[in-house]
Amino acid sequence: MPLDYSLLNEAQRKAMEDTEGRVLVLAGAGSGKTRVLTYRVAYLVSELGVDPRNILAITFTNKAIEEMRVRLDGLLGDKNKVWISTFHKLCAMILKRFATRLGYTENFTIYDESDSNRLIAKVLRLKHLDDGPLKDIVKDHISAAKNEGLSPEQYYAQIRGLVKFDSEIYEVFEEYEEELKRSNAMDFDDLLHKAKLLFELHPDVLDLFQNRFRYIHVDEFQDTNSVQFDIVRMLSEKWGNLFVVGDDDQSIYGWRGAKVENILNFDKVYPNAKIHKLLQNYRSTPNILDCANNVIRNNKARHEKELFTVKPSGVKVEYYTAYNDHQEAEWIIENIRSLKRMGYTNKDFAILIRQNSLSRNFESKLSGLGMKYRILGGFKFFDRKEIQDVIAYMRVIYNVKDSEAILRIINFPRRGIGDSSIDRLREYARMRGVDLIDVILNINANDALTGAAKNKVNEFRMLISDLIGNRYMPIHELAEYIVDKAGFEYAYNSTGKEEDENRWQNIVEFIKHVKEFAADNPNAGLAEFLETVSLAPEREEIRDNDAITIATMHSVKGLEFKVVFIAGCEEGIFPSERSKNEDNIEEERRVMYVAVTRAKERLYISSARQRFRFNRVQPMLPSRFMEEAKGGQESKIEELRRKWDAPDYGWRRYDNDFDDMPYSPPKPIEQRRETFAQIPEKPTLPPVKKDLSGFRMGGTVIHKIYGEGTIIMIAGSGADTQATVLFPKLGAKKFMLAVAPLTPKE
């Protein structure tokens, strides 16, 4: 069918027609990047006669896959044989076919985050390491290593002597990898890491897929990590056709390994690369785009570009500074109620926050008014314990070496197998160098357990043997068989607890989902179903769409709303306290840019002068991003100080207007007089002996007790020099520099 190019603007069409070599499309927010990518694929097939089976399109979510597939079906019809995939699905497909080359069997299990965390906790116990501080950091280090394509040894060589607990991290990482291998399992990061390793060790496998995928397209390229870039670089090396679409201004996932340098340096990696810019925005009004452009132009590490639109100017962006966080929430909700009277509906509104903890005020006030809301990025259906339990039975049937799945189900539903018995089974397997399942399946022929404990494990053995014997059932029948044989219904419906009844209903809903999967995929079996579940981390519980959205800024990337409120725009919150260097500040600014560009018609940006944090009321400074959005340059600390010192910016405590906030009544006047009597009118200060020249406005200082802070005001001279220092967790404090235990940070 002929393609209709009337929907493309000139810049989009030029990008579409650039079909050979390496091409980078810098697509600003709301500029129609998916349209360009899909039209380009359709152009290759319809106009240039490229076999669609030789085209690969990679994106990051299942939702994006479905959107791309629907669009290509509309453009190509029956010719749509294009391989559309996420990075993880692509790598899983490759590894399922060639896993034996790396010492795995093709039925390896894919561990999700909860599986990985449990395995790390197990390794920490095995190594007799304190799981307090290590538990929270080891997983991040392992993930970082794999995202860079590094083995435990290679990663240790990089962090040795530079990172706290370096040797412990290496020790746990090494044992974690061995445990995965013994369980014939890979974690989520392994799918990328092992696929790259497969290509490096087996050039014939790489050559096979290079010839299969002659035209490679990558969406959201700014979100790729080092390994992902390496994979597409290797796949495209033979034919040289790599088409990437992204926006460096929307690179906000550095904390999980994304490398903004991939898109910033694309033309350096490929000097002959062609670059196209899509700058016309189809989503927002000019006033909103002015705000976005004002913010992002303060970043230094970026491709220079500025969004524009042909839409009418629209409503001006509204800025508001509340007395406190309660007043801020009330102001936002009152605006929502007012706009609803004008015809807006709940689904048109989004309240965006930098931290999940900021949602409390909005939730309580919306609930009190009976207004529907949803928390985007909340608890996922497939993460629920009862669903994970059923899936664990499926995993054991599919891969009997999956020890984490075995440990999850061995005593659930409860069958009287205690922790001590399980520990003895694990130790018995470890000492003899065999798999846990081997000990269980041969429980009658070994001496791992005796007496009643042995009998209980034998019952579990018979159940597992029965389930394994029926593994070739149709997937929906197998799911029902597992639930029935394992005794899930009795376990949850016999307690009389509402919580357990809800869990049973979730299992019923899960069975329904499996039936729908079977209907949509008539040739798929257990392997395909487990892969789908493992590689769908973004799948969420179905919610009422007629609801106000409360969400973190990271969770709304790719979404849009008619009305957006950006709340909590204060230093220490946004940008966050952890954003100490320029690179981190620039990523925080990109988060602000993403938040602003979610708005279609109306945008509101708010802050509070006081906020309840860390169990106390703290004075807050307005965010530099709020100032930048108004059109000024990058905020200077002097400007913030002047605002702070204004008469209406006092550091007052909360009044009694808010009953749920802490309030300390004043002491009796007699006690106060006694206290005041002890304080001289003006302390006698010693001559200045220390050098005060290193103290300056905006400079960072270190206090022996309070840690690092920023000087926001200096007054006086000589021995009377006073400095007001803002500490992230304590607020502002005043010091006499001549005697205060403060030192400038070099």
Q: Tell me the catalytic residues.
A: 33-34, 219-220, 250, 598
Number of helical (H) and strand (E) elements in the chain, helices listed first: 29, 20
Given a contact cutoff of 8 angstroms between Cβ atoms, the answer to whether 737 and 722 are in contact is yes
Distances, alpha carbon 200 to alpha carbons 98, 210, 346, 435, 605, in Å: 13, 13, 52, 30, 49
Tokens 């019952």 correspond to 459
Which of 168, 179, 236 is CA-nearest to residue 206?
236
Q: Which residue type does 727 have?
A: F
Please tell me the distance from the alpha carbon of residue 574 to that of residue 353, in angstroms, as a whole number. 9
Which of 1, 582, 636, 653 is CA-nearest to residue 299?
582
600 HSE (CA, 13 A, CB side): 11
Spell out the SS3 assignment of 404-443: HHHHHHCCCCCCCCCHHHHHHHHHHHHHHCCCHHHHHHCH
Q: Characterise 193 by phi-psi region: left (phi > 0), alpha (psi -120 to 50), beta (else).
A: alpha
Tokens 């939730």 correspond to 363
Q: What residues form DSSP beta bridges with 564?
A: 350, 603
Please tell me the distance from the alpha carbon of residue 407 to that of residue 425, in angstroms, as a whole number. 10
Q: What residues form DSSP beta bridges with 374?
A: 549
Q: Which residue type does 212 have?
A: R
Q: Characterise 161 by phi-psi region: left (phi > 0), alpha (psi -120 to 50), beta (else).
A: left
Given a contact cutoff of 8 angstroms between Cβ atoms, the answer to whether 8 and 38 are in contact is no
Please tell me the distance from the alpha carbon of residue 656 to that of residue 662, in angstroms, as a whole number. 9
Using only the alpha carbons of the chain, give its radius of gyration: 30
Please tell me the distance from the alpha carbon of residue 461 to that of residue 607, in angstroms, as a whole number. 60
Tokens 């990482």 correspond to 173
Q: Which residue type does 702 have?
A: I
DSSP 326-381: HHHHHHHHHHHHHHHHTT--GGGEEEEESSGGGHHHHHHHHHHTT--EEETT---G
